[in-house]
A and B are shown apart, each in its own frame.
Chain A
């Protein structure tokens, strides 16, 4: 299985602090994406990083990708109460290798304490 493992499973920080989540995966990928899910709701796409990219930014989000270590990290800077959610990494398999789908990691539950 290519399912990603995320750590930590849960993270609680004070509002205004930075939050870092990590994702590790097992096989080669086409891209890696991060999604946010508020409790019991649908997922919202945050950012996509391709296998030939190393870092990407979007607003307060910074994503890194290290394909040699098969790992990625998501940094949320200056956290807000509204950032409280579950965060999932999702790996996109390489075309024509029999894994042309998104496979979601186990998720990190982030709680921002006001």
Chain B
């Protein structure tokens, strides 16, 4: 299996809702990532997990809460989001999870979740 899957594909939520995005890979990769991408903009890194531990948090607001329950699964819990949080949320993985440069290795992306916050 050489792909990263993300569910749901689309999500519409109100500002008071709680929802979760899910990402899964079965390539044995030990690093996983969340990115946020606004329309016609490049992806922006949010979080990096290495061996199921949070390695990088790019000063993301606490209304976004990542979780890595095992080496294949990455979740992003959403609560009290704002309309400006509407974006494409991309998950990615890379093979190595250790070493100084693991997070600059080739990354494999999922298809993304299109999130709309009303």
A interface list, Cβ under 8 A from B: 3, 30-31, 33, 35, 40-45, 48, 88, 92-93, 95-96, 100-107
A101–B104 CB distance below 8 A: yes
B interface list, Cβ under 8 A from A: 4, 6, 40-45, 48, 56, 88, 90, 92, 99-112, 114
A45–B107 CB distance below 8 A: yes
- Contact status of A3 and B112, CB under 8 A, knowing A100-B100, A101-B56: no
Bound: A34/B106 CA distance, A: 10
Mostly, the A contact residues are: strand
For the complex of A and B, 7 pairs with smallest distance between CB atoms: A92-B104, A95-B100, A104-B42, A42-B109, A43-B109, A95-B101, A42-B111
A43–B101 CB distance below 8 A: no
Which residues from chain B contact A30 at a C-beta distance below 8 Å?
Answer: 101, 104
